[in-house]
Amino acid sequence: MEEIQHRTIPVNGISMHVAELGEGPLVLFLHGFPELWYSWRHQMVFVAARGYRAVAPDMRGYGDTTGAPLDDPSKFTLLHLVGDLISLLDAVSPNGADKVFVVGHDWGAFVAWHLCMYRPDRVKALVNLSVAFIPRDPEMNPVQKMRSLYGEDHYICRFQEPGDIEAEFEKIGVKEVLKNILAFRNPAPLYFPKGKGFTYSADRAPWLTEEELDYYVTKFEKTGFTGGINYYRAFGLSWELNAPWAGAQVNVPTKFIVGELDLVYHTPGTKDFIHKGGFKKFVPLLQEIVVLEGAAHFVNQERADEINQHIYAFLQQF
């Protein structure tokens, strides 16, 4: 990864660490939890070799990006996260307001949907992985919904109390936490019963070398997990603030890719929404849905070669 360049850019009141490679049309890569810019290492090299400029930040609260108050989850709403990206694009786009390609995964995909919904003028086309667009439920915020579906032991519910899950993760150890989450490939819901640690045992994911795992470990040992967990703690507030966009569409050309074994894909109602018209209703420029057989949640790393080809094939249309 020596050829990848790194710099820190002041954006939206924080200092954002950005990895960059290549020259040409800009492709913005947005990572999820618990990840880093590094999650896109395979894609960055691939698109840069084909005439694109890959830009991948450590998102607010992650890695070498600093300045966000970790003790205040209200500073991690979707408005903050999208605001960071608009400010970043202002700084890195050659002509400021040029439209760019966006590729997101997990929380990065969720943020990318909202970037496109709030500011379609800044996005040329979108490839999102794992997390489909989720229309705003006017009756119930996402945390309440998860609680009603799965109970208090579901990981999103366990992530709500400040300091609670961090204390458990500290007992388990950063490397064990990352190894278990990144290797998770059960389509069933992820539970984290209080005081019981992981209820499953996982070896290191076969697509992740020991050296690659250690890169994540080194960064999360420095920062802890609170930054990423705050995205979940701000879920309810983001839902409140998104009221003006209730029923809004994402009007950006889009390709969606999900692993067959992805736990998000198996959330009740999600498959029907994706495949039976609901998705297309809210994302009318949705051009393609790809379900990768045998792949799980961290699909951009697990099946890097296939994801590279899917992204490149889509970008070439524009």
15 sits in which H/E element: strand 14-21
Rounded to 5°, the CA angle 169-171-175 comes to 60
Long-range contacts of 271-280 (CB under 8 A, 24+ apart): 273/132, 274/132, 278/135, 279/132, 279/133
Active site residues: 106, 232, 297
> Residue 202 burial (CB < 10 Å; 0-12/13-18/19+)?
middle
SS3 30: strand
Half-sphere exposure of 202 (CA within 13 A, CB side): 20
